[in-house]
Chains A and B, each alone.
Chain A
Amino acid sequence: MISLKNKDIISILDVTKEEILYILDISKRMEEEGSSDILKGKVLANLFFEPSTRTRLSFETAMKRLGGQVVGFDELGTTSTVKGESLRDSVKIIEGYCDIIVLRHFLEGASRLTADSVSIPVINGGDGASQHPTQTFVDLYTIKKVKGGLENLSIGFLGDLKYGRTSHSLAYAMSNFGAEMYFISPPSLRIPKDYLEELESRNVTYHEVESLDEVSSKLDILYCTRIQKERFSDPVEYEKVRGVYKLSKFVMDELDVKDDLKILHPLPRVDEMDESLDDTSYAVYFQQAHSGIPVRETLLATVLGAIQ
């Protein structure tokens, strides 16, 4: 019997294959059934120490659609952090005001520290360049939906694989399902060795390449990510790699790809994906964005024990 009651959702490494499948099954039910009041009387604290629109709003919407309430902030300037308060003190105080915390922070490991500091459940809404597990559930839900399952897929990760936390989390998650992985990036943005070691320990077959056309014909899924300007300390380094990959309808027509290839992107995009791609059969990234609601409803409801 799987129960996620009081479980912190910090890293995809903490979640078993069975728990992933359970979350995806409940998410499907949530999408079919729509709103309810199963979280009536519960309060979510949305603590966003770093800007976010999608993650913050989708958690807020998810909580409200299940009858719950939301408090929180989305910029550092309005918090006691600017007065020098430690993160641990801040969250220990805030836990008295709410039933669950969603935290986004610019420091890696901030969610783990929060979870270790409070007794209510904590969901990692993205910390630094580390993990972003709830986006991963959204990605998995979308892949399962468009491919009919998760087993034995070939998945390409394109773009910023050094700092792109959504790629890191998704690669870990897909290692549960026998995926063959292709990491496509410029040399300066290759996936860090840590992640490859973890994948090797899970017997994942992977390949590192620089150009998409070397591997495009093999892919069932192409997971495209933005090159994140905010993660570069040196603007010169950013300029060297920005725009290195540009997907468009024209590019896809030229590439040798499977007819049923699907392209995902956690959004926002900058110039790595042209709007001409949006109406092709490959594009599922808006569908992916909309899946954020049922998936986050599921995470809130299961860790709060409203669904068991």
Chain B
Amino acid sequence: MKKYEVSAIKEGTVIDQIASRSTFKVANILNIQGIDQVVLIGYNLSSKKLGSKGIIKIEGKLLTQEEVNKISLIAPDATVNIIKDSEVVEKFKVAIPDSIEEFLKCFNPNCVSNHQNVQSRFHVINKNPIRIRCHYCERHMGEDDIELV
């Protein structure tokens, strides 16, 4: 039997291949403090691909598309595994969408989207490394500028 550094779960979701530094940002996206079920977090685990990775396992949880989109911006290499009866029944890599609406805040304090009741909107101009352009003020944002709301 495979030995896990972080224990297995029976039903739920495993988010793997998170760059270590982004692990707790992903945990925040998933609002794990509000979850009653078992949550297992591995941090600074060795990874051939990333060097050092994080992993989050949540019992009884399926991700929404919005959560997957948010994770893709913070952890573009992450994979999502759906677990049923302790088996992986579905596995996919998060994908950065071509445009992003609503859940990001423009970092430009003078952008109209920060002053008027308007849904923020961004166009993805580069996926790796991530660069997005505000639909309104046209300012570019990179990974460090991204602020989820």
| Chain A residues within CB distance 8 Å of chain B | 11, 13, 86-88, 105-110, 112-113, 127-131, 192-194, 197-198, 201
Q: Are B110 and A128 in contact (CB under 8 A)?
A: yes
Bits for B18-54, please: 1 = Cβ < 8 Å to A, else 0: 0000000000000000000000000000000000000
Contacts of A109 in B (CB 8 A): 111-113, 134-138
User: A127 → chain B, closest Cβ, in Å?
Assistant: 8
Q: Is B116 a contact partner of A108 (Cβ separation < 8 A)?
A: no
Q: Which residue of A lies closest to B141 (CB)?
A: A194
Give bound CA distance, A87 to B112, whole Å: 9
Cα-based distance from A43 to B13 in the complex (angstroms): 59
Known: A110-B112, A127-B112, A194-B138. 4 other contacts (CB 8 A): A105-B112, A107-B112, A112-B112, A128-B137
A108→B136 contact, CB < 8 A: yes
Chain A residues with CB under 8 A of B113: 109, 113
What mask results when residues 98 to 132 of chain B are scored 1 for a CB within 8 Å of chain A, else 0? 00000000001011110111100000010000010
In the complex, which residues of chain B have a beta carbon less than 8 angstroms from the beta carbon of A128? 110, 137
The answer to whether B116 touches A87 (Cβ under 8 A) is yes
Select B140's contact among A106, A110, A129, A197, beta carbons within 8 Å.
A197
Provide the main secondary structure of the chain A interface: mixed
Q: How far is the CB of B144 from chain A (nearest CB, A)?
A: 12
Within the complex, the shortest CB–CB distance from B145 to chain A, in Å, comes to 10
Which A residues touch B118, using CB under 8 A? 88, 113
Query: How many angstroms from the CA of A107 to the CA of B140 in the assembled complex?
Result: 16
Task: Kindly count the residue-residue contacts between A and B in the assembled complex, taking CB atoms under 8 Å apart.
Answer: 60
Decide yes or no whether B84 CB sits under 8 A from chain A. no
Q: How far is the CB of B35 from chain A (nearest CB, A)?
A: 37
Q: Which residues of B contact A (CB under 8 A)?
A: 108, 110-113, 115-118, 125, 131, 133-140
A197 and B110 form a contact (CB under 8 A): no
Q: Do residues B116 and A130 form an inter-chain contact, with CB atoms below 8 A?
A: no
User: Contacts of B138 on A, CB cut-off 8 Å?
Assistant: 11, 13, 108-109, 130-131, 194
Whether the pair A130, B140 counts as a contact (CB closer than 8 A) is no
Provide the residues of chain B in CB contact with A106, threshold 8 Å.
110
Q: Min CB distance, A125 to chain B, in Å?
A: 15
- Report the minimal beta-carbon distance from B141 to chain A, rounded to whole angstroms: 9
Residue in B112, B125, B133, B136 whose Cβ sees the most chain A Cβ within 10 Å? B112
Rounded to whole angstroms, the CA-CA distance of A11 and B134 in the bound complex is 13
Residues of A within 8 A of B133 (CB): 194
Question: Contact between B139 and A108 (Cβ–Cβ < 8 Å)?
Answer: yes
A69 to chain B, nearest CB (A): 28
Interchain CB contact under 8 A, A86 and B117: yes
